[in-house]
A = this chain, B = another copy of it.
Amino acid sequence: MTEPQLGRQLLAAHRALAAELVVELEERGWPELRASQASLVLNVDRRSGTRLTELARRAGVTKQAMMVVVDELEVRGFVRRTPDPDDGRAKVVRLTARGRTLGAECRRAVAAVEARTRRTLGGRRYEGLREALDLLLETEEETA
């Protein structure tokens, strides 16, 4: 009855992909890096850096949540906070040299995972999946 519920499947799938990403990064020599961290690195503008609030907005989480991730990456020397010259309240999150290297690796790792997913699903199903998720989230945030 009620085949494994849709909600649970979505969660399980998320976990599976996140785990794959971590493995991928480990194999590339970046251990102990979590998916949320990798995802942040990908969202920082390479040239100008990005404000915390903007990063939060892009990731769809609160700035408090984002701050934790920035803290972690800052401690490990992948990003640093610099004051925003244009706005005394704000700080700009920038990639360090090491952070930029990591960023490139993350892009490859993400691509690898998505490629593998696409392969196991087949192109048509994969596109369908993304389309369905887009639609779902879109109409969801309208309702909210």
Contacts and interface: CB of A to CB of B under 8 A. Distances in A.
Secondary structure at the A interface, as helix, strand, loop or mixed, is: helix
A143 to B, nearest CB: 9
A88 interface: no
Interface in A1-45: 1-14, 16-18, 21, 35, 39, 42
A83 interface: no
Interface string A41-71: 0100000000000000001100000000000
Given A10-B10, A12-B60, A60-B12, A135 B125 contact: yes
A137 B16 contact: yes
A134 to B, nearest CB: 8
Contacts of A136: 13, 16, 117, 120-121
A7 B14 contact: yes
- How many copies are assembled? 2
A75 interface: no
Nearest to A106: B2
Interface in A89-144: 107, 110-111, 113-114, 117, 120-121, 125-126, 128-137, 139-140
Given A5-B110, A7-B39, A16-B137, 16 more contacts: A1-B107, A2-B110, A4-B60, A7-B18, A7-B35, A8-B39, A9-B130, A9-B134, A9-B137, A10-B14, A12-B137, A12-B140, A120-B139, A121-B135, A125-B132, A132-B132
